[in-house]
Amino acid sequence: MTDSTLGLHSLATMARVLGTSEPLPVVLELAAEGARFTLNAASVSISRYDADNGLLRTVINVGDLAPVEQRWPEDETYTVTRWPELAEVMEYGATRIDSVGDLHTDPREQELLKRLGKAASVTAALIVDDEVWGEFYATRGHGHPPFDDEAEHFVEVLVALVGGAISRALREKDLVEAASHS
């Protein structure tokens, strides 16, 4: 972020947009597109966490996508246990900033960034109803500044907003299904 006022306005807009009742796929698409704008990110991905199998299954990718990426992938998965830093994000509900060339960045994350044609990433756990539901992942391209502490704080607010919207969408889906069975 270079302009905190724009960032706060973007977060307020995200809160209004995600405050509406929408089906889960719409919520995820609105969240990803809005987050991309708010963070000045090249791309944003939202994935569902399958803790039993240690997998992240990407639900949506938006923005400047690599040739290997699809907007609504059918089978894009990542094994969390192969990436200790990612496992830590998912286990503790943390946020992580990485970039190509940073000595603290996991080599697997550097490989992924290179394969995607990106230079930096921010990864955060999506918490829904006090449990890790999934992963939020944003990238920036070469020639753009890496994510910084300010971006990390914005991501933490964004994932809280998105987590609330996911929770509401899931509850509403359950209510509609329950009503249709009565």
pLDDT tens-digit series, residues 15-59: 666 666 778 888 899 889 988 988 899 999 999 999 999 999 999
List, for residues 79-114, the tens digit of each pLDDT value: 998 888 888 899 888 899 999 989 888 888 999 999
Burial-class residue 11 by CB neighbours within 10 Å (0-12, 13-18, 19+). middle
* Beta bridge partners of residue 55, listed in sequence order: 50, 79
* Amino acid occupying residue 149: D
